[in-house]
C-alpha cells in the first residue's frame, strides 16, 4: 500500500471494532500514527494498537465517551501529549438502538443522537481548535482533515431506525455547514457514507444465507462491503490526493443509494 500519510497523526473515534478499527488499520498501513479511541471495550482497542505497533507502526488506545465534552477534551489532551498534535480526525463513533417508532424510548432516541451526532460535533469542534492552535505542518497541504462517518441512511429513510437515520441526516448538514465555515482556514471536512459493511452492528443482515440474499437485493454490486473498502476511502480523503475535495459525502455502498428497486420497475 502507498504510504500517503507518512508523518501524519490520526485520531479515530469508536475504533475498538467494526468500521472504526478497519479505518485505524488502513490509516496506520498508509503511514499515520494512530490514536484508537474506545468507549467501553479497552481490550480490543489495546490489541489493535499492539498489533499496529508490532508491525512497525505507532498506535495507542485512548478511552472517551465522545458524547461527553470533558471526556472528549481529555481524549484530545492525551493525543496531543503523546504525539504533539493531530492532522486527521475520523469522527466515527456510532451505535444503533432500533425500535418501531411507537416503541422508541426517549432514552434510546437520546443515546443515538448523543453519540452519533453530538459526539461528532464535539469531536470535530476539538479537532478544529487543535488544528488552529498548532498551525500549519509540512506533512500536508491542509491545516487538518476531518472525516465524518455517516451512512447511506443520511439519504435513505429507514423505518424502525428513526433515531439512527435522524442522526445521520444531521451529520450530513453538520458536515457541509462546518466544511463551508472552515474551508478558508484550509481545513477539509468530508463524510463517508458506508452501505452494508460486514461488521457486528449489522450481523443479523448477513450472517445467514437467507438474510444475505435479502440484503444483496439492495446492493447492485452484489457483495457485502468490507471494512477495508471504507479504510481505503478514508486514506484517500485524509491524504493530499483529495486536496481539492471539500464538503463531500463519498458513498461507499456498492450502489445501495442508486435505488436498485427501480432497476426494472417504476
Ligand atoms: C447501518 C447498518 C446497515 C447499513 C445499510 C448502516 O449505516 O449501521 O446496520 O446494514 O447502514 O442499511
Domain residues of the chain, as ranges? 9-254
pLDDT confidence tier of residue 232, bands split at 50, 70 and 90: very high
> How far, in Å, from the CA of 235 to the mean position of ligand 1?
21
Q: How far is the CA of 197 from the centre of ligand 1 (A)?
A: 7
pTM of the entire structure? Answer: 0.98
Residue 125, pLDDT > 80, answer yes
**DSSP at 255:** T
What's the N-to-C CA distance of the chain in angstroms? 43
Euclidean distance between CA atoms 199 and 184, whole angstroms? 37
Of the candidates 186, 259, 241, the residue with the CA atom closest to the CA atom of residue 30? 241
pLDDT at 266 over 90: no
Residue nearest to atom 3 of ligand 1 (CA): 196
Cα 150 to averaged position of ligand 1 atoms, centre (Å):
10
Q: What is the mean pLDDT of residues 96-109?
A: 98
Q: Check 38, 83, 164, 259 and give the catalytic one.
A: 164
Q: Is the CB of 195 under 6 A from ligand 1?
A: yes
Please determine, for residue 1, whether its predicted confidence score (pLDDT) is greater than 70: no
Mean pLDDT for the stretch of residues 93-113: 98
Task: Answer yes or no: CATH 3.40.50.720 is held by domain 9-254.
Answer: yes
Q: For the chain, what's the residue count?
A: 266
pLDDT band at 194 (very low <50, low <70, confident <90, very high): very high
- State yes or no: is 244 an active-site residue: no
What whole-number percentage of the chain has pLDDT above 90? Answer: 98
Task: Tell which atom from ligand 1 comes closest to the C-alpha of 96.
Answer: 8
- pLDDT at position 103 is 98
CA distance 28 to 23: 8
pLDDT in tens, 43-80: 999 999 999 999 999 999 999 999 999 999 999 999 99
Amino acid at each position: 500500500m502507498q504510504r500517503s500519510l507518512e508523518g501524519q497523526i490520526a485520531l479515530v473515534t469508536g475504533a475498538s471494532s467494526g468500521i472504526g478499527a478497519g479505518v485505524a488499520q488502513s490509516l496506520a498501513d498508509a503511514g499515520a500514527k494512530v490514536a484508537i479511541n474506545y468507549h467501553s471495550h479497552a481490550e480490543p482497542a489495546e490489541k489493535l494498537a499492539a498489533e499496529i505497533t508490532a508491525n512497525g507502526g505507532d498506535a495507542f488506545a485512548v478511552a472517551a465517551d465522545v458524547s461527553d465534552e470533558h471526556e472528549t477534551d481529555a481524549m484530545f489532551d492525551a493525543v496531543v501529549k503523546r504525539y504533539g498534535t493531530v492532522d486527521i480526525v475520523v469522527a466515527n463513533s456510532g451505535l444503533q438502538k432500533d425500535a418501531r417508532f411507537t416503541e422508541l424510548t426517549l432514552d434510546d432516541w437520546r443515546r443515538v443522537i448523543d453519540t452519533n451526532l453530538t459526539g461528532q460535533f464535539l469531536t470535530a469542534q476539538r479537532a478544529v481548535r487543535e488544528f488552529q492552535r498548532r498551525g500549519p505542518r509540512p506533512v500536508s497541504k491542509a491545516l487538518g482533515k476531518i472525516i465524518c462517518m455517516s451512512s447511506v441512511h443520511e439519504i435513505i429513510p429507514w423505518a424502525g431506525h428513526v433515531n439512527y437515520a435522524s442522526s445521520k441526516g444531521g451529520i450530513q448538514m453538520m458536515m457541509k455547514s462546518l466544511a463551508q465555515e472552515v474551508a478558508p482556514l484550509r481545513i477539509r471536512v468530508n463524510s463517508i457514507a458506508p452501505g452494508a459493511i460486514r461488521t457486528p452492528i449489522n450481523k443479523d443482515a448477513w450472517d445467514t444465507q437467507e438474510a444475505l440474499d435479502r440484503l444483496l437485493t439492495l446492493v447492485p454490486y452484489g457483495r457485502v462491503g468490507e471494512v477495508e473498502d471504507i479504510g481505503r476511502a478514508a486514506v484517500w480523503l485524509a491524504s493530499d490526493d483529495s486536496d481539492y475535495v471539500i464538503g463531500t459525502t463519498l458513498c461507499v455502498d456498492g450502489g445501495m443509494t442508486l435505488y436498485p428497486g427501480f432497476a426494472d420497475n417504476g
